């Protein structure tokens, strides 16, 4: 079976939001216990037989694992926004400040991006940023321009100028620094190192070496093999995970296609060698039946990110499913520790098997990447889609261009999923000519506020017609109807499994916003961190037709080719209650001046019900009431030769109801051979709206059947 066959054979299993929450509950208990029992300035590394952690001090310059425990605490704060987790995270982060000056190791990314990196992302405190920039400079000092690598492992006298695949994980410190005020050359260093890793560590079949040693004077390769793997020509599993994760991360920062190709190559090799339960042996070529859960955790987290970057939908889904298979295994009783027998989350981790160190134990870095994968899953609980857009802190990154053609009256629809507990996040619209750099430039704003509710900008302040709370990791459907000429907009929200709720009824555009003639730009602005919420399936629908005070004024041409049996479908939204509104059809040659010209028409009548004209009078096969600001889907089957029609209406959240069963055309209407005109008439302009009107020839299954 090939790689793709192996992927297809393992669909996603039982891992879901409930499973994620169970893992987080275990993590909360274990991390709180570890924090209570661990001296500040000491950092867990691996579990011991007595149920405690082996600890590493903050000032150990060669050790590489000190950042993972504070990183876990920051992930708990990210998930809950609870101040006690923030306090714990800060308490164990700040003692690592001295590592920013450490030039003895290549592992500063492991130590500081997991601790200070998360701290800065979640707090925006400039103190954390400055430590990271200083540390990036320390790491850059280890770059050898002759070979194009970050040198590692000064502690090993047998190596001359060594490179290991672990360093791929540390490149993020350089890439982040170059993007956040540091030297631009740090990005070049990181990319050169990644390219040399691709050239010398990744084998043609996608497997990997662990170590390459170079002559520092000539750059010639002196050795390729392993230090922690089974054999020089084998593939050490966790080292291979560092390449899957590392190439993915470098692609995130650089968008260099060589990095994506490399990530795909090492990923497909790994998946082709993976055991059925999704957790690998500690070396992919070892004969020893000894699993390593830390590898599975790092790979699962990497695949959830990589699935967003791969170009085709099938591969996106396969990678996402494989990640869930791994998380399903790791959250099972076989690997998840739920008792105090181990202080860590994951059992069966392997640190250094050749040295017989940390074999079949809990590993702090395995736990960290497991929790990171859980958080990534919570932000994306289904395979990624090309229609997914994520909120950003910066206005430039948060802005999406919608074009300049969305003028007049427009209907907007999308799904929004808050990804954190409480937000203060805004979704807004501006003209295509506006360069958005501030909230004041947005005419329409929908907010998920810090109190846990949706609200909408109405002139100079936020308000809501009805109270609509939001919950993290739940998806809400939003519908917005905007009249650019009138400077007004209305918003409806449909909660998961619920019915549509009016959130804003004809609110005024933001006071003082620039002029807006089109819906040209959409801004998804985070409140606290990037990726606070996700918008999916955003679409602007131009076919929005408001009713008019007069049949002639409300008439639109549909063309002259709609003959035979036709199916008309549309949504209708009454904007007031009650009203006297008519939706009717006439021949393309008819001048519509009144009801008598409409051979086919339905009505929103003054009594608050839908009805339709049946030959000589209004009637209804069933009682279908309407209310203001609710949307009803209408389906009509019109048989022009037989001069009869049927109408079905689907109320919000309900089933389709037959309103008119083979009603006859209006008896005194002009001859009607085609559906050439539609008229939307009300007493005042805009008392109802028709959206998404379509006409299509009917199939036999959808044609009305005349009654006996």
Check if the beta carbon of residue 276 is closer than 8 Å to that of residue 10.
Answer: yes
**Percentage of residues in the chain with pLDDT exceeding 70?**
97
Is residue 107 flagged as an active site residue?
yes
Contact partners, residue 130, CB within 8 Å, separation at least 6: none
State whether the Cα torsion 267-112-376-237 is positive or negative. Answer: positive
pLDDT, tens digit, for every residue of 291-335?
A: 999 999 999 999 999 998 998 889 999 999 999 999 999 999 999
State whether the Cα torsion 325-331-333-336 is positive or negative. Answer: positive
pLDDT band with cut points at 50, 70 and 90 for residue 708: very low
Rounded Cα–Cα distance for residues 417 and 477 (Å): 9
Strand, helix or coil for residue 96: helix
Contact partners, residue 14, CB within 8 Å, separation at least 6: 328
At residue 1, the pLDDT reads 30
pLDDT band with cut points at 50, 70 and 90 for residue 643: very high
Check if the beta carbon of residue 546 is closer than 8 Å to that of residue 409.
Answer: yes
126-140 helix and 167-179 helix, angle to the nearest 10 degrees: 120
Q: What's the rounded mean pLDDT across residues 382-401?
A: 92
pLDDT higher than threshold 70 for residue 707? no
Exposure of 598 in the CB half-sphere (CA atoms within 13 A)? 26
Helix segments in 116-256, DSSP class H: 118-123, 126-140, 167-179, 185-200, 237-254
Contact partners, residue 33, CB within 8 Å, separation at least 6: 340, 343
pLDDT higher than threshold 80 for residue 423? yes
pLDDT, tens digit, for every residue of 193-224?
A: 999 999 999 999 999 999 999 999 899 999 99
Torsions phi, psi for 261 (to 5 deg): -60, -40
Q: Which residue has the tokens 């409480």?
A: 422
Q: What's the rounded mean pLDDT across residues 693-707?
A: 67
Is residue 285 flagged as an active site residue?
no
pLDDT, tens digit, for every residue of 128-187?
A: 999 999 999 999 999 999 999 999 988 888 999 999 999 999 999 999 999 999 999 999
pLDDT higher than threshold 90 for residue 641? yes
At residue 472, the pLDDT reads 80
pLDDT band with cut points at 50, 70 and 90 for residue 702: low
pLDDT higher than threshold 90 for residue 542? no
CA distance from start to end of the chain? 62
459: left (phi over 0), alpha (psi -120 to 50) or beta: left
Residues composing the chain? 708
pLDDT higher than threshold 50 for residue 451? yes
Mean pLDDT, the chain, rounded, equals 93
CB-count burial class (<10 Å; 0-12, 13-18, 19+) for 394: exposed
Rounded Cα–Cα distance for residues 447 and 269 (Å): 44
Q: What's the rounded mean pLDDT across residues 544-568?
A: 94
pLDDT, tens digit, for every residue of 569-613?
A: 999 999 999 999 999 999 999 999 999 999 999 999 999 999 999
Q: Name the least confident of 383-387, 395-399, 666-670, 676-680.
A: 383-387
At residue 6, the pLDDT reads 37
**Of these residues, 78, 166, 213, 283, which one is catalytic?**
166
**Bridge partner list, 212:** 163, 224
Take residue 315 and report the two structure tokens written for it: 């591969």
**Of these residues, 107, 505, 639, 674, which one is catalytic?**
107
pLDDT band with cut points at 50, 70 and 90 for residue 700: low
Strand, helix or coil for residue 307: coil
Q: What's the rounded mean pLDDT across residues 499-522?
A: 94
**Percentage of residues in the chain with pLDDT exceeding 90?**
85
Q: What's the rounded mean pLDDT across residues 688-705?
A: 77
């Amino acid at each position: 079976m090939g790689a793709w066959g192996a992927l297809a054979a393992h669909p996603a299993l039982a891992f879901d939001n409930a499973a994620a929450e169970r893992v987080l509950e275990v993590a909360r208990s274990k991390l709180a216990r570890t924090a209570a029992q661990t001296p500040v300035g000491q950092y867990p590394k691996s579990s011991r037989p007595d149920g405690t952690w082996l600890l590493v001090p903050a000032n150990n310059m060669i050790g590489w694992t000190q950042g993972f425990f504070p990183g876990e605490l920051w992930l708990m704060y990210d998930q809950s926004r609870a101040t006690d987790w923030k306090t714990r995270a800060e308490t164990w982060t700040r003692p690592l400040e001295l590592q920013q000056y450490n030039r003895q190791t290549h592992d500063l990314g492991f130590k500081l991006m997991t601790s200070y990196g998360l701290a800065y992302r979640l707090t925006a405190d400039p103190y954390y940023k400055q430590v990271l920039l200083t540390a990036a400079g320390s790491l850059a000092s280890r770059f050898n321009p002759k070979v194009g690598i970050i040198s590692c492992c000064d502690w090993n006298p047998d190596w001359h100028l060594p490179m290991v695949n672990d360093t791929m994980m540390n490149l993020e410190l350089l890439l982040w620094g170059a993007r956040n005020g540091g030297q631009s050359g740090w990005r070049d260093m990181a990319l050169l190192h990644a390219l040399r890793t691709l050239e010398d560590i990744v084998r043609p079949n996608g497997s990997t070496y662990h170590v390459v040693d170079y002559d520092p004077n000539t750059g010639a390769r002196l050795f390729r093999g392993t230090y922690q793997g089974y054999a020089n020509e084998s593939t050490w599993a966790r080292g291979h995970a560092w390449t899957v994760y590392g190439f993915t991360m470098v692609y995130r920062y650089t968008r260099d296609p060589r990095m994506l190709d490399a990530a795909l190559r090492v990923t497909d090799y790994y998946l082709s060698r993976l055991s059925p339960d999704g957790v690998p042996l500690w070396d992919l070529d070892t004969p020893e039946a000894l699993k390593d859960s830390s590898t599975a955790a790092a790979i699962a987290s990497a695949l959830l990110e990589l699935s967003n970057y791969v170009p085709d939908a099938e591969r996106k889904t396969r990678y996402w499913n494989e990640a869930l298979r791994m998380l399903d295994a790791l959250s099972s009783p076989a690997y998840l520790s739920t008792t105090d027998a181990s202080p860590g989350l994951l059992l069966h981790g392997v640190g250094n098997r050749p040295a017989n160190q940390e074999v079949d134990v809990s590993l702090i870095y395995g736990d960290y990447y497991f929790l990171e994968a859980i958080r990534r899953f919570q932000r994306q609980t289904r395979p990624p889609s090309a229609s997914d857009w994520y909120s950003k802190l910066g206005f430039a990154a948060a802005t999406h261009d919608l074009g300049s053609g969305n003028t007049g009256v427009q209907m907007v629809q999308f799904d929004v999923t808050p990804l954190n507990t409480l937000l203060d996040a805004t979704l807004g619209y501006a003209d295509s000519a506006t360069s958005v750099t501030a909230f004041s430039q947005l005419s329409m704003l929908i907010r998920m506020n810090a109190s846990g509710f949706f609200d909408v900008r109405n002139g100079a302040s936020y308000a809501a017609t009805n109270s609509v709370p939001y919950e993290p990791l739940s998806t809400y459907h939003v519908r917005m109807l905007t009249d650019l000429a009138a400077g007004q907009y209305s918003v409806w929200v449909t909660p998961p499994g619920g019915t549509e709720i009016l959130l804003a009824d004809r609110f005024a555009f933001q006071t003082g916003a620039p002029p807006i003639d089109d819906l040209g730009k959409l801004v998804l602005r985070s409140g606290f961190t990037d990726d606070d919420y996700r918008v999916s399936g955003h679409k602007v629908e131009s076919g929005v037709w408001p009713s008019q005070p007069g049949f002639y004024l409300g008439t639109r041409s549909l063309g002259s080719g709609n003959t035979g049996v036709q199916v008309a479908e549309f949504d209708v939204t009454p904007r007031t209650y009650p009203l006297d509104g008519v939706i009717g059809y006439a021949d393309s040659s008819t001048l519509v001046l009144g009801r008598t010209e409409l051979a086919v028409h339905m009505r929103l009548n003054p009594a608050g019900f839908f009805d339709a004209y049946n030959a000589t009078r209004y009637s209804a096969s069933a009682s279908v009431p309407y209310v203001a600001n609710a949307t009803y889907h209408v389906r009509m089957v019109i048989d022009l030769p037989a001069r009869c029609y049927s109408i079905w209406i689907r109320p919000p959240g309900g089933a389709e109801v037959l309103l008119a069963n083979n009603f006859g055309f209006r008896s005194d209407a002009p001859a009607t051979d085609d559906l050439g005109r539609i008229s939307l008439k009300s007493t005042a302009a805009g008392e109802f709206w028709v959206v998404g009107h379509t006409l299509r020839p009917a199939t036999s299954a959808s044609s009305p059947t005349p009654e006996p």
